[in-house]
Amino acid sequence: MSIHGKTTLPYIVRKIFEIQHKLYQQQSRLCSTGRLQEAFKVEEEQEFPKINEIKQEASSFYYPVQKPFKHDADIGEQFTYSQLRVRLAGPHQLQPKPDADDLQFGKIFTDHMFKATYHKRLGGWQKPEIMPLENLVIHPAAKVLHYAVELFEGMKAFRGVDGKIRLFRPELNMARMNSSAQRSGLPTFEPEDFIQCISRLVSIDQEWVPHTESASLYIRPTLIGIEPTLGVASSDSALLYTILSPVGGYFAGKETGGVSLLADPRYTRSWPGGVGDRKMGSNYAPTIHVQKEAAKQGFQQVLWLYGEDHQLTEVGTMNVFILMINEHGERELITPPLNGLILPGVVRHSILNLTREWNQFKVTERKITMTEIKKAVYENRVLEMFGAGTACVVSPIERIYYMGDNLLIPTLENSNSLYKQCLNTLLDIQYGRVEHSWAVEID
């Protein structure tokens, strides 16, 4: 017997198993919603430039997407996609899929995960594997548990209106992840091979990609130092893994309103020379207390400030944008510059790309302080503020509490708001309503 010219028995057995597995997956409930029909309707009226007018430029503005990527000389062997082994979950291991309407952020995980280990003494990266989701077993002295030697990425897979599944600018996440790895003393990897492994993982768990445009499959690539020694030094062993979680909106039950922010200059999330521009778990743990403090006072998120002049840096887990009439009477979209304090967000980068292409107002990356914001709010010159990130996409801001002042931001009052234009354009690309090079189809 011959299938595509391959005749080996193991090949035929594997094929049969894969087909069986797909059938089982389809029999378990689809991760879908009753609003499926509605979701397939294409929105009509939009006043902002159509997507074909956007220049499809190379995405290397901030990210040094190095090709080929330059690893440290002593990194050793890389893992490759061609080495990937796949161990599929048995029917008894497959989990029921949730209703896409009930999804909360990061509470449910799919049936499979990706893993690759790195051991310097064994020559570098070992062969990667996709396997049923399982708990990790690590030594209690593993560096990640003591010195937070950990970093991660946030990406999403979208089921488009044509049924195809797409990733959004995955090469940018890979570039950022490698830059976080370098700063953590962890091994770097070949971006293209890792994207292929992630795509295969998503493809295996494809029925978990929600059948709706109000949800997506969140992808969490993670790299941890697992060397079981207590010295504060680079970890000669590491684990790279990826898990998947179907998600709806990040803010449960708050889809249409704007977010309210506590801006308290006693707290900061990053500082010069630190790692605010890398996606490390250690950047997030210290924010949890402040977030709780904000919630206690009735605010949803924290507006992170830095320095004696109270510069705006980020909002919650997002980058921040301000659309205002500046002192010279010009419309200006401002976001803080990538000066080491700011995470180089993929959505941030994309909004800058889009708005620069639209060329409807000045777009700047510059320092902006609370004094400037406060003055502009009092003079009715702030038009909109919004946060941008993979998990939250684009979230309008409606109020900032800053040192006794309640600053009301009219983001939601503008019928043709910029935040919505940005959001809709990104969703159009992500859900395949328009063809765009940023949306990468998986097989």
Q: Residue 331 Cβ, how far from ligand COI at the closest point, in Å?
A: 27
Of 158, 168, 155, 132, nearest to 25 by C-alpha is: 132
Q: How many CA atoms lie within 13 A of 136 on its CB side?
A: 22
* DSSP collapsed to 3 states, 58-122: CCCCCCCCCCCCCCCCCCCECCCHHHCEECCCCHHHCCCCCCHHHCCCCCCCCCEEEEEEEEHHH
- Max Cα separation, the chain? 78
C-beta of 233 vs 252, nearer to ligand COI: 252
Distance CA 45, CA 186 (A): 48
Closest distance between ligand COI and the C-beta of residue 390, in Å? 3
Q: Which amino acid is at 288?
A: I
In the complex with ligand COI, which residue's Cβ is closer, 78 or 390?
390
Q: Which amino acid is at 206?
A: Q
Answer yes or no whether residue 317 interacts with ligand COI by CB under 6 A.
yes
Q: How far is the CB of 156 from ligand COI (least distance, A)?
A: 8
Between residues 311 and 395, which has the closer beta carbon with respect to ligand COI? 395
Q: Is 389 in the site for ligand COI (CB under 6 A)?
A: yes
Q: Which is nearer to ligand COI, 344 or 389 (CB)?
A: 389
| 252-291 positions binding ligand COI, by CB under 6 A | 284
Site size with ligand COI, rule: CB under 6 A: 6
The only residue of 178, 268, 300, 390 in contact with ligand COI, by rule CB under 6 A = 390
Q: State the virtual CA torsion across 219, 240, 318, 35 in degrees, nearest 10.
A: 10
Site stretch for ligand COI (CB under 6 A), options 8-16, 327-335, 374-382, 383-391: 383-391
**Complex with ligand COI: residue 243 or 377, whichever CB lies closer:** 243
Residue 30's nearest CA partner among 197, 217, 242 is 217
Q: Is 391 in the site for ligand COI (CB under 6 A)?
A: yes
Which part of the chain contacts ligand COI (CB under 6 A), choosing from 19-27, 84-92, 197-205, 387-395?
387-395
**CA–CA separation, 338 vs 349, rounded Å?**
11
- Judged by beta carbon, residue 151 or residue 368, the one nearer ligand COI is 151
Give ∠ CA 404-395-304 in degrees, rounded to 5: 45
Backbone angles phi, psi at 15, to 5 degrees: -60, -45
Is cis: bond before 210, omega within 30 of 0? Answer: no
CB of 252 to ligand COI, least distance (A): 13
CB of 63 to ligand COI, least distance (A): 16
Residue closest to ligand COI when measured from CB atoms: 154
Contact residues for ligand COI, defined by CB under 6 A: 154, 284, 317, 389-391
